[in-house]
Copies of this chain bind each other. A is one copy, B any other.
Amino acid sequence: MSKNDKKPGAEAADSRPEAKSPRTEARLPKGLQDTPAPEIRTTEAMLGTIKGVFEAYGFEPLDTPAIEYTDALGKFLPDQDRPNEGVFSFQDEDEQWLSLRYDLTAPLARYVAENYQGLPKPLRRYQVGPVWRNEKPGPGRFRQFMQFDADTVGAGSIAADAEMCMLAADTLEALGIKRGDYVVKIGSRKILDGVLERAGMSAKDKGQHLTVLRAIDKLDRLGVEGVRLLLGKGRKDESGDFTKGADLDQKQIDAIIEFVEASGGDRDQTLAALKTLVAGSAIGEEGVAEVTAMHDLLTAADFGSNRVVIDPSVVRGLEYYTGPVFEAELTASIKDKRGQTIRLGSVVSGGRYDGLVERFTGEHVPATGVSVGVSRLLFGLQLLGKCTGDETCGPVVVLVFDKDRLADYQKMVQELRGAGIRAELYLGSSGMKAQMKYADKRGAPCVIIQGGDEKERGEVQIKDLVLGAGLSKIEDRDEYKKKQAEAQFAVPEADLVAGVRKVLDRHKA
């Protein structure tokens, strides 16, 4: 019987032990992964820091469920070429289509439209949680991953966009990234539109417009020549796959490339260059005016060109952005374990999107926001040695020397826990050697042993596993004896907590 010709759950019921069916294979669907303890701890520490900054900026947390009506989520995934793909969908009892959220912005739009009357305006909310993409998984590409967003909804003011750039910068610094080791870049959809208008491109051809956006968005990866090909006839990649281009003429391509390269270190200079490039285009001049206003606000709040730059090549691939767009990246040289320099890409990104709520209410609700790329940022922090949160040491393990005396051992465990020390009783059924191995595997700082002799003397043995591990390297006999005595020592039962504290203090970070 094939697994696939039955309703869900049917094969599950069959595979219960009672049914004596063939064994089920324990496996995860591709693109999904389990997260082990160290990664959970470092992620939580990072998220805690980010939350702290977002809260300081006055954003409030909001949670929305994982499941939404498919039509309420809308369809704003980057890959517009496959409009029916990218989301996990299923039908409800009443046959309406439901989907797992693919980002946190679409549910926010639904939430705002649904609760518009009662909300503070503007609404400032942050949300952190998993999102799901039903896409082909690959290295570093997962079908479930975490997003961390902050959005200001109902604010047309350019000050809201400037603030998002400050938020990105302050967040990265709070995470331990030094000024100069990151940069926040501002681009503008309106300035781009002005350049395209001046180059004689029709604003009505949305498909061509999107192709141009995507081409510019790939500047980092493909370089200027690659972008030129994508703006023209198209480009064949290393694997031989051909991507059709925007089919612009040479003059148009030159104009766009000139625009993209107009970025300078200094914001004043870049603005002056952009002003010239869009002169005469209303939308382009509006864009320059907006970015100039952002520049002024940033300067007043002491966010200079060493933190936030204007970079026209930043356009972002998402169709729904309507004004300024921004992204932050780490500029510190990041090397992987083999010493290779890594291009990490943007770790925070966002922009203004004024049309997302309109499709529900018909009302124009301006909004702007940023999204932190949680996994990518964590990866960068790890490589930069800026991760925290994994200092939790393993529990003190009380070994079971004598199986009839579990209650005595349990009492010791409880005493340690009562003193605020992480501790546990060995709960397996193996002998002393395996118990020591278990304690090692758990990263225990020390183990507690009480055999018959110790019991008689009213003592417990404390064995320091960190010191113990170093013993084999000591060649000098006297030194060895001394260290051995330090690594394993007896204390009266009443001094159990004090003895363990002594070991913990030795190995404090």
Question: Which residues of chain A have a CB within 8 Å of any CB of chain B?
Answer: 3-4, 7-13, 15-18, 23-29, 32-37, 40-41, 55-58, 60-75, 83-92, 95-100, 109-115, 120-122, 124, 130, 132, 143-144, 152, 154-157, 159-160, 162-163, 166, 170, 206, 296-297, 299-302, 355, 358-362, 392, 394-395, 397, 406-408, 410-411, 413-414, 417, 420-425, 427-430, 438, 441-442
Contacts and interface: CB of A to CB of B under 8 A. Distances in A.
A359 B16 contact: yes
A91 to B, nearest CB: 8
B73 A12 contact: yes
B35 A62 contact: yes
B84 A10 contact: yes
Contacts of A296: 407
Contact of A24 (B62, B359, B420, B423): B359
B72 A417 contact: no
B89 A28 contact: no
Given A72-B26, A296-B407, A99 B302 contact: no
Given A10-B84, A395-B58, A407-B300, A65 B32 contact: yes
Q: Which residue, A64, A87, A112, A301, has most C-beta atoms of chain B within 10 A?
A: A301
A151 to B, nearest CB: 11
Contacts of A155: 427-429
Which of A8, A62, A95, A425 lies at the interface centre, i.e. has the most chain B CB atoms within 10 A of its CB? A8
6 contacts: A16-B74, A26-B361, A28-B68, A56-B421, A124-B424, A297-B407
Contacts of A360: 23-26
A170 B425 CA distance: 16
Nearest to A89: B8
Contact of A9 (B83, B112, B159): B83
Contacts of A442: 58, 120
A425 B159 CA distance: 8
A321 to B, nearest CB: 14
A3 B96 contact: yes
B17 A425 contact: no
Given A9-B87, A34-B111, A124-B427, 11 more contacts: A4-B97, A9-B84, A12-B71, A34-B64, A56-B421, A58-B442, A67-B88, A120-B438, A121-B438, A300-B408, A301-B413
Given A40-B61, A99-B8, A297-B406, A15 B84 contact: no
B27 A72 contact: yes
Contacts of A361: 23, 26
B62 A417 contact: no
A88 B23 CA distance: 23
A289 B222 CA distance: 71
A90 to B, nearest CB: 4
With most chain B CB atoms within 10 A of its CB, the pick from A26, A27, A28, A90 is A26
A193 B455 CA distance: 39
Contact of A29 (B15, B25, B98, B397): B98
A313 to B, nearest CB: 26
Contacts of A27: 69, 72, 110, 114
A229 to B, nearest CB: 28
Contacts of A12: 70-71, 73-75, 83
A54 to B, nearest CB: 10
A165 to B, nearest CB: 12
